[in-house]
Structures are given as structure tokens and as C-alpha cells.
Amino acid sequence: MKSVCLWSGPRNVSTALMYSFAQRSDTQVLDEPLYGHYLRVSGAKHPGREEVMASMKCDGDAVMADLLKLPPSGSVTILFMKQMAHHLQDIDRGFLDRTENILLIRDPEEMLPSLTVQLPDANLYDTGLAVQWQLYRDLVAANRRPVVLDSRELLLNPETVLEKLCHHIGLDFCDSMLTWPTGPRQEDGVWEKYWYQAVHKSTGFAPYKEKPAMPAQLSGLLAECKPYYDNLNEHALRA
């Protein structure tokens, strides 16, 4: 099984991208398999914390070892794992040598107002940006080929950017990746009721829209985030 990890920050288009890959007949998708592990080791007080941990295995090393042993099943030869970069806490990252790795980023000026609705005390680590930059550097140093995907570029031209993304990770692009039915998917984690209301109403990637001005109280966190985002964005696919 070809394994693909999408390392995203929160309040991005990661769920939409998971739904996009789910339309492929050759692909099985998984929703944040390391979420329970992250909640256990970090103690983070996320919505539905106990329910999430009860719904899945919470030993991240064991989770990834099991997933990378999955064999192909009929026409399904690709495992696409939607992951959050900040879930990579207290875990052996050696498995990254066996996965195609996508770093999905979003301008923190657009992301932070949304994130702090659910996580009012969010900090730099919660955004995943510092972890993503570290991941990028480590993967490049190991002669891996991580691909950086900026949500703005994806929403500006989904077809072109998805074609480039698929080519980079060794897949053929499928037109079916551009649309999906409304409503929840069976692959959604139990946390979908807290986070996925908007994407459940979608049938494809929403057109990019400029976001309103960011609240002044987030200016300090924005200043922390911006250098990591800018560094990653230099390497992002373009529409």
C-alpha cells in the first residue's frame, strides 16, 4: 500500500482535501489517526477530548506501525492519512521515511481567527506551523521530497494544484477529486460535530475569499507564526 500523510495545521482545508482523495477508487482515507495519541500525551483540552480518546488507539507509535502494514485491498492501493502536524508529539518519526509527505499550510492571518473560536488560548504549537517547518527541513535533509501546499493556491485553482500535487507524489490526477456529496463521511472522526459543520455543506473546494481584518489581540501570536508560514510558503505549489 502506498502511504500518503497530509501534515496540516488546524482550520485549514484539510478535511476537504481528505474528501477529495476519498473520491478516488484506488484510495482509502483516514481521519487524524494520531489525534488520540496527541490528546493523551499533551493533556490538551479539546472539545470532546474523552470521547475522542475512547474512540481510537492512543499509542501513536503502535498506530503508525499498524497502518503501514496494511496491504492493498482489491483496487485500493493508496492510504491517504489526514494528519495534524502538532499531533507529532512524543512519537518516533522514523515512519516518515516510508510515507509521501504533504505539508498543508494556511496564512495565519486567515487561520488564527477561526482557530481561536474553538481554542481561545491557542499558542504557536497549536497552529502546527513550527512543527511543519521543522518537518520540512528534516525531510529535505533526509533526501525526502516533501511537497508544500498552500490552501489559498489550492482554492484559487483546485484542478491545477491537485494535478501538480498528484504528480509530485506519484499519482495520476482524477477529475473525481474535484467534487463530493454533501454531508458527513463514514471516515470522519467522532470529533466531526465540533469542527466539520462547514465542510459537510460543501460539494467541492470553495472559491477563495479574502478574510476580514484580524482581531488586534491576536497580533502577538501572528508575529510568532508569520516567519514559519513565510518560510514554508516559499516552497509551495502555485496555482
Domain 2-233 has CATH 3.30.450.20: no
The domain locations on the chain are 2-233
Matching residue, cell 496555482: 239
Stated as kind and residue range, the H or E segment containing 100 is strand 100-105
Mean pLDDT of 8-33: 96
212, pLDDT greater than 80: no
202 to each of 73, 179, 207, how far by Cα in Å?
29, 9, 11
216, pLDDT greater than 90: no
210, pLDDT greater than 90: no
The larger pLDDT score, comparing residue 47 to residue 29, is at: 29
Q: What is the widest separation between alpha-carbon atoms in the chain?
A: 53
pLDDT attached to residue 214: 80
pLDDT attached to residue 119: 80
Rounded Cα distance between 204 and 84, Å, is 21
Phi and psi at residue 218, to the nearest 5°: -100, 5
The reported pTM is 0.95
pLDDT attached to residue 120: 85
Percent of the chain scored above 70 by pLDDT? 100
Please state, rounded to an integer, the average pLDDT across all residues of the chain.
Answer: 95
Which 3 state secondary structure label does DSSP give 28?
A: strand
- CB-CB contact of 32 with 39 (8 Å): no
**Residue 193, Cβ density class (10 Å: 0-12 exposed, 13-18 middle, ≥19 buried):** middle
Mean pLDDT of 198-221: 89
pLDDT tens digits for range 157-209: 999 999 999 999 999 999 999 999 999 999 999 999 988 998 999 999 999 98
Mean pLDDT of 202-218: 87
Which 3 state secondary structure label does DSSP give 147?
A: strand
pLDDT confidence band for 75 (50 / 70 / 90): very high
- What is residue 185's DSSP assignment? -
CA 128 to chain CA centroid, Å, is: 10
32, pLDDT greater than 90: yes
**Buried-state track 19-34, b at ≥16 Cβ within 10 A, e below 16:** bbbbbbeebbbbbbbb
Rounded Cα distance between 57 and 135, Å, is 24
Angle (CA) 89 109 161, round 5°: 80
Which sign does the torsion angle of CA 184, 103, 127, 110 carry?
Answer: negative
